């Protein structure tokens, strides 16, 4: 009654299409059989035929595995949009990224990419600001936005935290963020930290004449996140940061709705992502997850550095950045599918992790300027501390944008010279 594999099927514009890497189990008779089981378990079927199935249900809802590439072990499945509650991303993932990862019929399964049909895209707000909106708010017109993360990750009290931020802003950085595991601690309470740090931010803006941004980490239960977002707004803040995978997809959707009529940029930290994105044979690509985060409406999203301390090769990072910044994607159908974004604004990619000023030439070469570059240890680890670390970062970006080498620039920039001395291998 139900044919899950139909190699003659041509997806229509209403289908949601998913591309998977599939390594079948040794005792599974064929890739086609594995493909059939994936299509079945992710939609209307189960391990055996059932008497409660009907021709009508099959006709309306059966997906079609329409592409099987044994050489690259890639399959594509087209799902009727009726299988999904369009504005419920949790349900969509429970279907196409749910039970199937655990089936014995496959050894490994990686969700490579998803093409969302127009009807589903239309149900999501997307980013409120977009790259242009962020540049307008931060008054940083062309160069990358430069930021740091307060280090140690946790441990400072509210006043010490605010001082580190003020030093970074005075040294020339645009943005300072909380680390992913700093929320409201016994030694550093969220409300007091936000109050003290935004006062420091106001002082730094007056001193430098530049717009300065603080990104407090509101990660918590949804009700608390809403309270914390209001605390940030009440203290004059314009950004919040959230650990998107530890708070969960439905909390993010609700938070984005809640912030719709508030002037707040959402910075998405992806802590925990590597538990399911890193394995090239199993899990979900950061590219697919980044698409979901753009749909839900993250304004800024960590996507990798290529050159820093975290895993993430050049090809993957560049394609991930492409799918969250461009309005129309023509995929190669090996690592990336097509995607029309309609009116969904762009998400600004963030490169962070193991970066120092010495990485800036490569960062600009590979990733360009429509980025946020963040330096944690690469700022506070400067031989003369945070403010000089921030100056070295600004000097390095100026050097690259002027077309001179870091060494050349260092001849007239002692802070950069000291950074080179410490970190040049």
Active-site residues, by number, are: 151, 269
385 binds ligand CAP (CB under 6 A): no
Kindly tell me which of 180 and 370 has the beta carbon lying closer to ligand CAP: 180
40/118 Cα distance (integer angstroms): 24
* Binding site partner of 377, from Mg ion, ligand CAP, none, Cβ cut-off 5-8 A by kind: ligand CAP
CB of 178 to Mg ion, least distance (A): 9
Residue 33: burial class (beta carbons within 10 Å; 0-12, 13-18, 19+): middle
Q: Note the Cα 313 to chain centre separation in Å.
A: 15
Element (H, E) at 291: helix 286-296
Of 146-154, 292-300, 334-342, 390-398, which segment contacts ligand CAP by CB under 6 A? 146-154
346 DSSP assignment: P
CB of 266 to ligand CAP, least distance (A): 16
Which residues, numbered 167-196, are part of the site for Mg ion (CB under 5 A)? 179-180
* Cα dihedral 17→18→24→30 (10° resolution): 10
Please check whether residue 312 is in contact with residue 263, taking contact to mean a CB–CB distance below 8 angstroms.
no
Query: How distant, in Å, are the alpha carbons of 16, 217, 228, 280, 374 from that of 222?
Result: 29, 13, 10, 32, 27
Kindly tell me which of 63 and 389 has the beta carbon lying closer to ligand CAP: 389
246 binds Mg ion (CB under 5 A): no
Kindly tell me which of 377 and 385 has the beta carbon lying closer to ligand CAP: 377
Please check whether residue 338 is in contact with residue 115, taking contact to mean a CB–CB distance below 8 angstroms.
yes
Selected binder of ligand CAP within 283, 353, 357, 389 (CB under 6 A): 353
Q: Note the Cα 108 to chain centre separation in Å.
A: 24
Q: How big is the chain, counted in residues?
A: 425
CB of 286 to ligand CAP, least distance (A): 9
- Report which of 272, 273, 305, 312 is spatially closest to residue 290, judged by C-alpha positions: 273
Selected binder of ligand CAP within 62, 166, 174, 180 (CB under 6 A): 180
6 binds Mg ion (CB under 5 A): no
CB of 24 to ligand CAP, least distance (A): 31
- Report which of 1, 4, 67 is spatially closest to residue 33, judged by C-alpha positions: 4
Which residues, numbered 71-130, are part of the site for ligand CAP (CB under 6 A)? none
Kindly tell me which of 153 and 281 has the beta carbon lying closer to Mg ion: 153
Q: What is the contact mask toward ligand CAP in residues 359 to 378, using x (rule: CB under 6 A)?
A: ----------------xxxx
Which residues, numbered 12-51, are part of the site for Mg ion (CB under 5 A)? none
Kindly tell me which of 126 and 353 has the beta carbon lying closer to Mg ion: 353
Q: What is the contact mask toward ligand CAP in residues 241 to 270, using x (rule: CB under 6 A)?
A: -----------------------------x
CB of 179 to ligand CAP, least distance (A): 5
Of 55-63, 145-153, 230-238, 314-322, which segment contacts ligand CAP by CB under 6 A? 145-153
Strands 300-302 and 265-269: parallel
- Report which of 254, 341, 264, 332 is spatially closest to residue 299, judged by C-alpha positions: 264
Cis bond upstream, residue 152 (ω within 30): yes
198/171 Cα distance (integer angstroms): 17
Selected binder of ligand CAP within 11, 130, 133, 354 (CB under 6 A): 354
* Binding site partner of 310, from Mg ion, ligand CAP, none, Cβ cut-off 5-8 A by kind: ligand CAP
Q: Note the Cα 328 to chain centre separation in Å.
A: 19
- Residue 234 makes CB contacts below 8 A (sequence gap 6+) with none
Q: What is the contact mask toward ligand CAP in residues 295 to 314, using x (rule: CB under 6 A)?
A: -------x-x----xx----
- Report which of 94, 116, 44, 16 is spatially closest to residue 250, judged by C-alpha positions: 94
Q: Report the interface residues with Mg ion, using CB under 5 A.
A: 179-180
Q: Report the interface residues with ligand CAP, using CB under 6 A.
A: 149, 151, 153, 179-180, 270, 302, 304, 309-310, 352-355, 375-378
């Amino acid at each position: 009654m139900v044919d899950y594999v139909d190699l003659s099927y041509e997806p229509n514009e209403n289908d949601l299409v998913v591309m998977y890497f599939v390594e079948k189990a040794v005792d599974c008779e064929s890739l086609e059989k594995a493909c059939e089981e994936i299509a079945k378990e992710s939609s209307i079927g189960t391990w055996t035929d059932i008497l409660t199935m009907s021709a009508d249900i099959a006709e309306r809802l059966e997906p079609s595995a329409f592409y099987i590439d044994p050489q690259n072990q890639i399959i594509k499945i087209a799902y009727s949009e009726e299988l999904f509650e369009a504005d419920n991303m949790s349900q969509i993932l429970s279907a196409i990224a749910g039970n199937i990862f655990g089936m014995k019929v496959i050894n490994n399964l990686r969700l490579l990419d998803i093409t969302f049909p127009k009807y589903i895209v239309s149900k999501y707000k997307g980013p409120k600001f977009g790259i242009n909106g962020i540049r307008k708010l931060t008054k940083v017109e062309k160069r990358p936005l430069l930021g740091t993360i307060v280090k140690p990750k946790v441990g400072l009290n509210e006043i010490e935290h605010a001082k580190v931020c003020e030093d970074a802003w005075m040294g020339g950085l645009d943005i300072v963020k909380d680390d992913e595991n700093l929320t409201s601690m016994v030694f550093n309470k969220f409300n007091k930290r936000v109050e003290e740090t935004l006062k420091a931010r106001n002082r730094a803006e007056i001193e430098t004449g530049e717009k300065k941004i603080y990104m407090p980490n509101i990660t918590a239960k949804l009700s608390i996140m809403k309270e914390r977002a209001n605390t940030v707004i009440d203290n004059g803040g314009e950004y919040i940061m959230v650990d998107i995978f530890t708070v969960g997809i439905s909390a993010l959707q609700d938070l984005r709705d809640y912030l719709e009529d508030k002037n707040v940029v959402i910075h998405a930290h992806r802590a925990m992502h590597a538990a399911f994105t890193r394995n090239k044979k199993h899990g979900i690509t950061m590219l697919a997850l980044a698409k979901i985060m753009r749909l839900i409406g993250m304004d800024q999203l960590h996507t990798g550095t290529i050159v820093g301390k975290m895993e993430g090769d050049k090809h993957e990072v560049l394609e991930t950045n492409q799918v969250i910044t461009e309005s129309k994607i023509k995929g190669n159908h090996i690592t990336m599918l097509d995607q029309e974004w309609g009116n969904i604004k762009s998400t600004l990619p963030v490169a962070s992790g193991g970066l120092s000023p010495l990485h800036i030439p490569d960062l600009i070469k590979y990733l360009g300027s429509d980025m946020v570059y963040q330096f944690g240890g690469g700022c506070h680890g400067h031989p003369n501390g945070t403010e000089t670390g921030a100056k070295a970062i600004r000097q390095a970006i100026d050097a690259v944008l002027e077309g001179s080498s870091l060494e050349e620039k260092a001849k007239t920039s002692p802070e950069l010279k000291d950074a080179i001395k410490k970190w040049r291998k």
